């Protein structure tokens, strides 16, 4: 059995080397498919991190009437913290809100002079509420709109980023679908190219195959070298994809980090090396082996 296996491997390598130009073309097409697959994977990581980072900025701001007792505000804060939908609640008193406003506009002389002329604090106390999931905000908003809270609440607002984040999520979904479509298209092209490469190899070796049949060679011995050639195409394409993708990911990592401070592609790649290598090898080898197996079944009538 070991002898047969090594002979099949040997003839598979011969089939790969005999069709040098076709083998190179097939490998290049597979590399393109794998690079698009890698790009789609990295885009998924970036988009998920971007959406998560932006979603963290969504909140509900509850502004209280100037005459609202602080005890009532604190009671509402504790009640909100007990809700299963709520992740965090931050109380900002009117004094703290004024201090933050002054700090944010300390370089604006006009605003500073206007505040100095005011006799009272124009800012209202508020609660900033973050939900565990963005889809839970309508439930929280409904809780705040009950009749018993109307005497103390001036206004309830969603975070200003909600609409932008929803739009970003739609764009990301569209790009992701397009990426999947391109990957599938290139994979089909790679399958067709590999299929025709194996078909031409079978045709060019038809006399040799006839002799092998006459001397009683088994079906596995005849089919095997072509499947091995397909596996070699996929293996080389996967290795080339790893070699090309790795420095590209490291190169774009600082730019992505500047856009999303919580994400480092270099660190992500370093912590996912086994998965990164495995998925590319699996994708490439499966693509080559499947194409070769289909071609062998179609054109080797044994």
The pLDDT of residue 18 is 65
The whole-angstrom distance between residue 259's C-alpha and the CA centroid of its chain comes to: 16
pLDDT at 17: 64
Q: Domain residue spans in the chain? A: 2-54+165-299, 58-160
**Four-way CATH pick for 58-160: 3.30.70.3040, 3.90.1150.10, 3.40.50.2300, 2.60.40.10:** 3.30.70.3040
DSSP line for the chain: -HHHHHHHHHHHHHHHHHTHHHHHHHHHHHHHHHHHHHHHHHHHHHHHHHHHHHHTT--EEEEEPTT--HHHHHHHHHHHHTSTTEEEEEEE-HHHHHHHHHHHTTT-HHHHHHHHH-SS--PPPEEEEEESSGGGHHHHHHHHTSGGGTTTEEEEEE-TTHHHHHHHHHHHHHHHHHHHHHHHHHHHHHHHHHHHHHHHHHHHTHHHHHHHHHTT--HHHHHHHHHHHHHHHHHHHHHHHHHHHHHHHHHHHHHHHHH-TT--HHHHHHHTHHHHHHHHHHHHHHHHHHHHHHHHHHH---
Q: What is the pTM of this model?
A: 0.65
pLDDT of 142: 85
**pLDDT (tens place) for every residue of the chain, 302 residues total:** 555 555 656 655 566 666 667 777 777 877 887 887 788 788 878 877 877 777 777 788 889 888 888 888 889 989 999 988 888 899 988 888 878 777 777 776 676 676 667 667 778 888 988 888 777 888 888 888 888 888 888 888 876 666 766 776 677 677 778 777 877 787 777 677 767 766 766 666 666 656 556 555 556 666 677 777 778 888 888 888 889 988 998 899 888 888 888 888 888 888 888 888 898 888 888 877 887 777 777 766 54
pLDDT of the residue at 297: 73
pLDDT at 209: 57
């Amino acid at each position: 059995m070991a002898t047969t296996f090594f002979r099949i491997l040997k003839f598979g390598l011969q089939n790969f080397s005999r069709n040098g130009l076709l083998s190179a073309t097939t490998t290049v097409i597979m590399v393109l498919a794998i690079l698009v697959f890698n790009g789609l994977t990295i885009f998924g990581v970036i988009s998920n991190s971007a959406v998560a980072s932006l979603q963290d900025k969504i909140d509900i701001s509850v502004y209280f009437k100037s005459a609202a007792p602080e005890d009532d505000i604190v009671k509402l804060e504790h009640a909100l913290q007990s809700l299963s939908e709520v992740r965090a609640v931050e109380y900002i008193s009117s004094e703290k809100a004024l201090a933050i406003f002054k700090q944010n506009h300390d370089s604006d002389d006009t605003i500073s002079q206007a505040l100095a002329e005011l006799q009272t604090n124009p800012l209202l106390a508020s609660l900033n509420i973050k939900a565990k999931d963005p889809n839970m905000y309508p439930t929280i908003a409904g809780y705040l709109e009950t009749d018993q809270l109307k005497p103390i609440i001036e206004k309830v607002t969603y975070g200003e980023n909600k609409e932008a984040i929803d739009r970003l999520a739609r764009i990301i979904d569209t790009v992701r679908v397009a990426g999947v479509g391109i990957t599938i298209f290139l994979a089909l092209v790679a399958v067709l190219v590999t299929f025709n490469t194996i078909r031409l190899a079978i045709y060019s070796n038809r006399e040799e195959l006839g002799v092998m049949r006459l001397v009683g060679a088994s079906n596995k011995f005849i089919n095997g070298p072509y499947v091995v050639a397909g596996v070699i195409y996929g293996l080389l394409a996967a290795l080339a994809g790893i070699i090309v993708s790795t420095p590209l990911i490291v190169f774009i990592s600082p730019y992505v980090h500047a856009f999303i401070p919580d994400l480092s592609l270099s660190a992500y790649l370093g912590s996912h090396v086994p998965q990164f290598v495995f998925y590319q090898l699996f994708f490439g080898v499966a693509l080559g082996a499947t194409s070769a197996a289909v071609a062998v079944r179609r054109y080797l009538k044994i």
